[in-house]
Amino acid sequence: MRLSSAIGGGIAGAVVVTLLHETVRRLYTEAPRMDLLGMEAMAKTLDSSDIAVPDKKALFNITMAADLVSNSLYYSIAGIGKEKQAVVRGTLLGVAAGLGAVYLPKPLGLNEAPATRTLQTKIMTAALYTIGGGIAGAAVRLIENKSSF
């Protein structure tokens, strides 16, 4: 598979997971608040690097940009290997990301509540990342098939 297909799929998965999180959090009170978790992680990182933490709006924008870049790179892994397995690989990457989002905040010293407030929140967190991974894998296949003509 080509690198461009992997990166394109990764970007598609990252955009979908970010749009889903932002939409769901505005519609449901039990939705995961990965924006808050990301902002906390970004603020702690900046603070530990002796960089002034920006105001809430700027911190949100920086966090969203960092999320899109890091999730794009992560989901791009779906495009490594055989094309026919890209969707399975992407979905498994999504499952891993979702479980990590639920179970890693506390050990990392972050507030776990944005991803774990209720059972419904935990399920939505894992599901959103899983969907993003599946989309990444599907996009890889679509890009590969369209470009092979």
Mean pLDDT score across all residues of the chain: 94
The reported pLDDT for the residue numbered 139 is: 96
pLDDT value, residue 84: 84
Q: What percent of the chain has a predicted confidence (pLDDT) above 70?
A: 97
Confidence class for position 146, pLDDT limits 50, 70, 90: confident
Q: Residue 93 has what pLDDT?
A: 97
* Sequence-ordered alpha helix ranges (H) in the chain: 3-27, 34-48, 56-76, 86-103, 113-116, 119-147
Q: What is the mean pLDDT of residues 117-136?
A: 96
| CB 144, CB 87: distance < 8 Å | no
Residue pLDDT, tens place only, 44-98: 999 999 999 999 999 999 999 999 999 999 999 999 988 789 999 999 999 999 9
Confidence of residue 1 (pLDDT cuts 50, 70, 90): low
Give me the phi and psi of 118, to 5 degrees please: -135, 170
Domain residue ranges in the chain? 3-147
Reported as a single tens digit per residue, the pLDDT across 94-110 is 999 999 999 999 999 99
67-70 LR contacts (CB < 8 Å, sep 24+):
67/14, 67/18, 67/34, 67/38, 68/11, 68/14, 68/15, 68/18, 69/14
